């Protein structure tokens, strides 16, 4: 189940918010969750950057089947971070209910889950 090193992006507390550590192309600005030797878009040099804390849900689901090392159900969302990359995040709902977030829902990065995953929560209560 586990590998070394952990491929998931580091979650950082920064200036009172939560951000993701990654890289951005110095030439074209394309963000990456990895630390690649060259930009996937233009071949330019990558520089360290941080992303978040806010973003928009691209899509979402709730996983309800057993996955090794995890306890279902858990909600996942693809989140397009503002001026940042699309990242897969766990959805942490304040009320403990596990639901899909509709595409377009505004979310904010929060501290990572106990399993070390990137996590988001809705910025405003949304009826779904």
Partner 1 sequence: MTSDRTAPQRAVTAAVAGVGTSLFGKQPDLHPSQLVWRAVDEALRDAGVAPADLDAVYVGTVFGAPGVAQRALHAMGITSMPIITVENACASGTTALHEAVTAVELGRFHTVLAVGVEKMTDQFAGAIHPESTDIEGRTGLALPSLYAMAATRYQALYGVTDEDLASVAVKNHAHAVHNDRAQYRTPHTVEEVLASRMVADPLTLMQCCPIADGAAAAVVRPHRSGTEEVVVRSSVLRSGGLWDQRCAHVWGYELIRDTATAAFDLAGVGPTDLDVVECHDAFTIGEIVTTEAIGLAPEGQGAGLLRSGHTALGGPQPVNPSGGLLSRGHPLGATGLAQTAEITWQLRGEAGGRQVDGARLGLVETMGGGVAGVDGNACVMVVLERTTGVRA
The full 3-state SS of the chain, as one line of letters, equals: CCCCCCCCCCEEEECCEEEEEEEEECCCCCEECCCCCCCCCCCCCEEEEEECCEEEEEEEEEECCCECCECCCEEEEEEEECCCCEEEEEECCCCCCCCCCCCCCEEEEECCCCCCCCEEEECCCCCC
Report the residue number, 51 or 74, with the smaller CB distance to Zn ion: 51
Report the residue number, 16 or 37, with the smaller CB distance to partner 1: 37
**97 near partner 1, judged by CB under 8 A:** no
- Report the nearest approach of partner 1 to the CB of residue 9 (Å): 7
> Of residues 56-75, which lie at the interface with partner 1 (CB under 8 A)?
58-68, 70, 74
Report the residue number, 1 or 13, with the smaller CB distance to partner 1: 1
Q: Which residues contact partner 1 (rule: CB under 8 A)? A: 1-3, 6-9, 31, 33-34, 40-41, 58-68, 70, 74, 76, 78, 80-81, 84-86, 88-90, 100, 102-104, 115, 117-118
């Amino acid at each position: 189940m586990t590998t070394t090193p952990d491929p998931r992006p580091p979650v950082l507390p920064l200036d009172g918010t939560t951000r993701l550590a990654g890289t951005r192309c110095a030439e074209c600005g394309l963000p990456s969750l990895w630390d690649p030797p060259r930009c996937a878009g233009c071949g330019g040099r990558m520089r360290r950057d941080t992303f978040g804390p806010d973003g928009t849900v691209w899509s979402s689901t709730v996983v309800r089947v057993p996955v090794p090392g995890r306890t279902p159900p858990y909600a996942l969302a693809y989140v397009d971070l503002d001026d940042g990359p699309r990242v897969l995040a766990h959805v942490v709902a304040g009320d403990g209910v596990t639901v899909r977030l509709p595409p377009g829902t505004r979310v904010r990065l929060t501290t990572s889950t106990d399993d070390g995953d990137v996590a988001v929560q809705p910025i405003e209560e949304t009826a779904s």
